[in-house]
Amino acid sequence: MSQAKKVTGIHVKGIGKYVPEMVATNEDFAKIVDTSDEWITQRTGIKTRHITNGEPTYYLGAKAAKAAIADAGISPEDIDLIITATVTPDFFTPSTACLIQREIGAVGSMAIDINCACTGFDYGIDMARRYLLAEDGVDTVLLIAAEELSKFTDYTDRSSCILFGDGSAAFVLERKKDTLYSSYLGADGTGAKFLVSRAMRSENAFRTNKEEFDMDMPATKAHYFTQDGKEVYKFATRTLPIAVEKACEKAGIAPEDLDAIVPHQANVRIIETAAKNLGVSMDKMVVYIDRYGNTSSASIPIAFCDAVAEGRIRRGDKVCLVGFGGGLTYAGIVFEY
Ligand code: UT7
């Protein structure tokens, strides 16, 4: 039996999620691209995904934030810092965190966006904990992951459009002394070209040089998302078990000591392979990809919220949130709920 290390970690005071009302089924996709419910279900595990009917990212984020604030029993003025993880902001500026702050009335808080793709919620927890650790005026953090992936989805590309959904989830975090906590975060920019959504190229008034400086990045249709599914699949199946193992090792526990593992929900086959490689049963893996598809940074906290609502994760449980995605990035966070 391993000995868990006690450190200053996080207390998850409240949680909340929000997904748009509109739902697209696999059959709906079969009407717009050459695909079938059978292919999507067998290759990905996805059955439905929620898609916005025009609601922007910050709107989804504010809805989840309000739910988490209510669950925590605090008022918006108690929040010292808002961190929003998103790869689908509505504006380059203002940040999504500032727009959410305005929506929820968290007067006086700091507000910052982070972009770590599907790993954003894990990176956000680690960042929140480091602010809390400093004991320098930040005592309550609102961490939100909000994604409207449908706005960068190419609905003519059957290999990617069937994967994505929209949604948001949020945690209210406080400092907790003498508790279980560890993080293992990493990035591998050599794999940057495998998951891409392009921003703007410079067309400034003085430009004469038409040479592109990102020759190793794929050509894309405007800002639409493109990925090398096979490369990402290999990366995910390799890094997911490593991130769990390393985070557990730092926390002084073994993966089998965890009550639940909440992985990024990209493909059920990736999760099944990771469970096998970790030697843990699929009962420990929290999987709701059938309902929501891949919602990037929001997928881990949305799955966490559903697991709590259904009693699969309870107070005091040892949990690992494990992500992988664009960047490439990977991360594991171990904590006690
Ligand atoms: O959060 C972002 C992280 N992203 C990921 O984790 C994605 C990781 N990758 C994957 O999950 C899988 O690679 C995909 C689900 C994207 C694709 O599954 P796959 O088993 O790797 O399929 P494939 O790309 O090898 O394609 C197999 C066949 C191809 O046809 P041919 O060439 O064998 O005739 C594709 O054209 O399936 C075809 N195909 C489809 N068929 C029906 C691709 N997409 C579809 C589709 N419906 N939607």
For the chain (length 337 residues), average pLDDT per consecutive 10? 85 98 98 98 98 97 98 98 98 98 96 97 98 97 98 95 98 98 97 94 89 85 93 96 97 97 98 95 97 98 98 98 97 98
Taking the centre of ligand 1 as the mean of its atom positions, its distance from the CA of residue 159, in whole angstroms, is 5
Cα–ligand 1 centroid distance for 274 (angstroms): 19
Tokens at 16, concatenated: 């909340």
**Mutational test site, ligand 1, from 47, 159, 232, 235, max ligand atoms within 8 Å of CB:** 159
pTM: predicted TM-score of the whole model, two decimal places: 0.97
- Tell me which residues are annotated as active site: 118, 264, 294
pLDDT reported for residue 2? 62
Domain annotation for the chain: domains and CATH numbers: 7-178 (3.40.47.10), 182-200+220-336 (3.40.47.10)
Give residue 275's pLDDT: 95
- Give residue 219's pLDDT: 87
In 3D space, the residue among 53, 54, 78 whose CA is nearest the CA of residue 65 turns out to be 78
* Cβ atoms within 10 Å of 159's Cβ, excluding its own: 13
- Ligand 1 atom nearest the C-alpha of 230 is 13
What does the pLDDT read at residue 211?
Answer: 83
By most ligand atoms within 8 Å of CB, the mutation choice from 29, 43, 188 for ligand 1 is 43
Burial track 298-319 (b if 16+ CB lie within 10 A, e otherwise): bbbbbbbbbbbeeebbeeeebb
